[in-house]
Amino acid sequence: MRFDIISTFPEFFAALDLSLVGKAQKAGVVDIRVHNLRDWAEGKHLAVDDTPTGGGAGMVMRPDVWGRALDTVLEEGAVLAIPTPSGKPLTQRDLEALVQVPQIVVACGRYEGIDARVAEHYGAEGIRVFEYSLGDYVLNGGEVAAVALVEGVSRLVDGMVGNPESLVEESHSVEGLLEYPVYTQPREWRGIETPAVLFSGDHARIRRWRRDRALARTADRRPDMINALVEGGKILERADVEVLTSRGVDVRTGRWDYSFSVAEESDLSEVAALAARTFPLACPPTATETEIREHIDTHLTENAFRELTRGGASITTVRSGPELVVVAYALCEPNAPDDIASLSPGACYVSKIYTDPEFHGSGVSGALMEFALADAVSRWGSTAVLLGTNQSNRRAIRFYRRHGFKKCGRRTFEVGKRIHRDFVYVRDLTVDPPR
Ligand code: 5OB
C-alpha cells in the first residue's frame, strides 16, 4: 500500500514513523511519502492560498498549486482523499474499501479549504475523489485527519496487525455495536471490583454479559447505531431486547420510549389504574365479574398501594409513549409472607409484576424485573428474593427461570372458595444476574 500525503506542514507526519505504522514502514508493508505543497508554489512569496472569491473570512487554497502537485504524485488507480469538515464522516467501511486500492493521495487543506475545482477536475478525469471528515467539530487543517486515515487503513493491510483475531472483534466491525468494557489485573483497584462473571470460566455467560454491556453502551451513546440494528433486523435474541428496553429503547420502533423509576405517592393513582386494567386479564375464566370487581375495589386502589408503600413496600414503574403512561409495575416487599419466608430466610419478596398486554414480548417485563431487584438490593440489602406463581402459568414460569429463579417450594392459598396452587421460586441476589 502506497500513501502520498501533501501538506504545508510535512513535519507533522513524523508521528507515522512511530508505533505499528512505523514498524510497517520499516518492514516495507506500507510506503508513506510526505510532500511539501510549497514545492509546487510559484512567485515571489510562494503563495499557496488567496482570498475567497465572493468575499468572506479566511483564505482558500489555490487550484493551480494543487494541480501541479497532484499531477506529479497521482498514479494509475489512485484515490484522492481530501479531509474537510464538509466531507462524508469517515467509517470503518470506508477504510475497508480504501485498503483495496494501490495508492491513496491525501491532500491536506489548511485555512478555509481547497478551491472546489480541484475535486471537480480530478473527479471528471476519472480519479476517485473521497472528501471525508472526522466528525462534527472543527480542526485547523486536514493533517490530523490524514494521520487518522493512514493509520486506519494501514492496520488493515495484510501483515500489519500481529494477531489477526483482534481485527474481528473490535468496535465498528460487522456487529454494529460498540465494544464491551474490558478489565485486567489487579482484580480490585481503588475499591472497584472487576465483575465476578469474568472469573466464572463460564464462556456462554461471559459472552452474554459482554453482549449486554455492548448493547447498553451503544444504547446510551449511539442512537444512530441502535436504529441501524433495528432496521437491519439484527436484534434477534430476547436478552438483547431486554437490555435495550432497560436503556429506554423500544426495539419495535428504535425510539427511546421507556423510563424506569421508583414510584412516589403521586404515581400511585396511575399504578392503581394499570392494576385495575390488567387484573381481570390475569384472572381464571371461572372468576365472576363481581369477584373481580370486589378484588379491584379492595386491593388495587390508590389507597391500598399507599398503605403498602407506607408499610415498607417499593413500587417500580415503566412509563412509555408521549403521554408517559405507566405500562408496567412491580411491587416488592422487604420480607416474604410467613408461610414461605423460611424457604429463604431474609429474602425480599416480589408480590406483583404486571405489564400491559400491549407490551408483552417487548422486553418491558424483564427489564422491569431487573430494575426492581436492583432497587431492592440497594434499598434493603437483600441477598435473595422469593416469589410465588400459579403452577399452571407456563409463561410466567419460563420468564422467572430465564431471570435466574429456581423452584424451592409450593404454597396454596384460598380466594373465596377456590384453592390456588403456586410454585415458590427463589433467586440469589449476591451473584450477577443470569445474563
Ligand atoms: N474537522 N474533520 C473534522 C475534519 C475537520 C477539519 C479538516 C479536515 C477534516 O480540515 C480543516
Q: Could you write out the DSSP letters of every residue in 240-273?
A: HHHHHHHTTEETTTTEE-EEEEE--GGGHHHHHH
Q: What is d(CA 267, CA 89) in angstroms, rounded to the nearest whole number?
A: 44
The cell for 235 is 436484534
Q: From the CA of 185, how far away is ligand 1's center (Å)?
A: 38
Residue type, 435: R
Length of the chain, in residues:
435
Residue type, 129: V
The cell for 108 is 491536506
> Can you tell me the mean pLDDT for 313-326?
96
Q: From the CA of 134, how far away is ligand 1's center (Å)?
A: 6
Burial 260-269, CB ≥16 within 10 A → b, else e: beebeeebbe
Mutate to test the pocket of ligand 1, among 139, 140, 150 (most ligand atoms within 8 A of CB): 139
Top CATH class of 259-428 equals: alpha beta
Q: From the CA of 154, how far away is ligand 1's center (Å)?
A: 20
The cell for 364 is 418491558
Q: From the CA of 139, how far away is ligand 1's center (Å)?
A: 5
Reported as a single tens digit per residue, the pLDDT across 262-302 is 999 999 999 999 999 999 987 878 888 998 999 999 999 99
pLDDT score, position 163: 47
User: DSSP H helical segments within 104-202, as ranges?
Assistant: 117-124, 143-154
Confidence of residue 413 (pLDDT cuts 50, 70, 90): confident
Q: From the CA of 61, how far away is ligand 1's center (Å)?
A: 15
pLDDT score, position 76: 97
Identify the residue whose C-alpha is closest to ligand 1 atom 11: 141
Reported as a single tens digit per residue, the pLDDT across 214-258 is 999 999 999 999 999 989 988 778 889 999 999 999 998 899 999
Cell 404454597 belongs to which residue? 411
Q: Which atom of ligand 1 approaches the CA of 133 most closely? A: 2
- The CA–CA distances, whole Å, from 252 to 234, 294, 320, 361, 425 equal 12, 37, 13, 10, 31
Mutate to test the pocket of ligand 1, among 59, 84, 106, 149 (most ligand atoms within 8 A of CB): 84
Q: From the CA of 75, how far away is ligand 1's center (Å)?
A: 25
Reported as a single tens digit per residue, the pLDDT across 123-163 is 999 999 999 999 999 999 999 999 999 999 999 999 886 64
- The CA–CA distances, whole Å, from 271 to 107, 247, 278, 279, 328 equal 62, 21, 11, 12, 8
Query: Which residues of the chain are in CATH 3.40.630.30 domains?
Result: 259-428
The cell for 266 is 403521586
- The CA–CA distances, whole Å, from 362 to 252, 258, 265 equal 8, 11, 27
Taking all residues of the chain, what is their mean pLDDT, rounded to a whole number? 93
Q: From the CA of 264, how far away is ligand 1's center (Å)?
A: 49
pLDDT score, position 311: 95
pLDDT score, position 159: 85
pLDDT score, position 361: 87
Contact 87, 133 (CB under 8 A): yes
Q: How many helices (H) and strands (E) does the chain have?
A: 14, 18
Q: How far is CA 421 from the centre of its chain?
A: 42
Query: Which residues of the chain are in CATH 3.40.1280.10 domains?
Result: 2-169
Residues near 268 by Cβ (< 8 Å), separated by ≥ 6?
A: 302, 305, 306, 309, 315
Reported as a single tens digit per residue, the pLDDT across 178-223 is 999 999 999 999 999 999 999 999 999 999 999 999 999 999 999 9
> Can you tell me the mean pLDDT for 413-417?
74
pLDDT score, position 236: 74
Cell 399452571 belongs to which residue? 392
Q: Which atom of ligand 1 approaches the CA of 132 most closely? A: 9
Q: From the CA of 9, how far away is ligand 1's center (Å)?
A: 15
Q: Which atom of ligand 1 approaches the CA of 139 most closely? A: 6
Lowest mean pLDDT among 48-57, 269-278, 282-291, 378-387: 282-291
Q: Which atom of ligand 1 approaches the CA of 110 most closely? A: 11
List, chain by chain if needed, residues with CB within 6 Å of any ligand 1 atom.
83-85, 109, 133-135, 137-139, 141-142, 145
Mutate to test the pocket of ligand 1, among 5, 59, 130, 144 (most ligand atoms within 8 A of CB): 144
Q: What is the fold, at CATH topology level, of the domain defined by 2-169? A: Alpha/beta knot (3.40.1280)
Q: How far is CA 346 from the centre of its chain?
A: 36
